[in-house]
Amino acid sequence: MRHPFRLLPTTLLILAGALVVVPAATLAGPTGITAAKTQSLTEPAVRALIAEVVAASKARDVEHLGRLLAADCSIVFAGTNPDAVQLGALSKAEYLARLTDGYTALSDLQSYDYQATDVRVHLNAAGTQAIVDADIAEHLTFNDHELVTHSHEASVVELRDGSPKLVRVTGTVTGTSR
């Protein structure tokens, strides 16, 4: 019998793909957070947006996540496990399409949770760019089987037209447990 989590190659995109991101924000969106226009990035603003991304990821709200990405955003996910799906750079549109397909394929999940821990924000001196490193854990239950995927994500955020946007995400899946 196949393991229930070996459904589609896009499963990995869900497990490692609901980004930890970084731009500035104030409260409003699906969890009360909406990106605000600003002249420079600040650490509190970056951390506020991380909360927005985590909430949108938990809600599997692809449209909201898409609003946090720059038009030219590049997303790369790889795995340390030889069986993991290895992806080259994806454009914003490609990433969002795969994420949507993956969420659709796993619409019958019994539970899903997304957590970002050990979040580190590094701002450049000009306040125009931030590098955010975070450890991600995604927990899901499908057909009474639990899966936890761990990844490390490094994200670059820049101000675009006065608003912070994610311009690059590099994620490495570091392990899974069942």
What does the pLDDT look like over 87-126, one tens digit per residue? 678 999 998 998 899 888 877 888 888 898 999 999 998 8
Strand, coil or helix: 112: strand
Listed residue (90, 172, 167, 91) closest to 131, CA to CA: 167
Name, in order, each residue with C-beta under 8 angstroms of 138's C-beta and a sequence gap of 6 or more.
14, 15, 16, 18, 112, 113, 114, 115, 148, 149, 151
Query: Which phi and psi (to 5°) does residue 11 adopt?
Result: -55, -45
Assign 64 a pLDDT band (cuts: 50, 70, 90): very high
CATH annotation of 10-177: 3.10.450.50
| Stretch among 28-32, 35-39, 64-68, 136-140 having the lowest mean pLDDT | 28-32
Mean pLDDT of the chain: 75
Q: Which of 53, 33, 23, 34 is nearest to 136 (CA)?
A: 53
Please report the pLDDT score of residue 153 as a whole number: 92
pLDDT digits (tens, 9 = 90+) for 5-35: 333 333 333 434 433 333 323 223 333 444 4
The structure's pTM equals 0.72
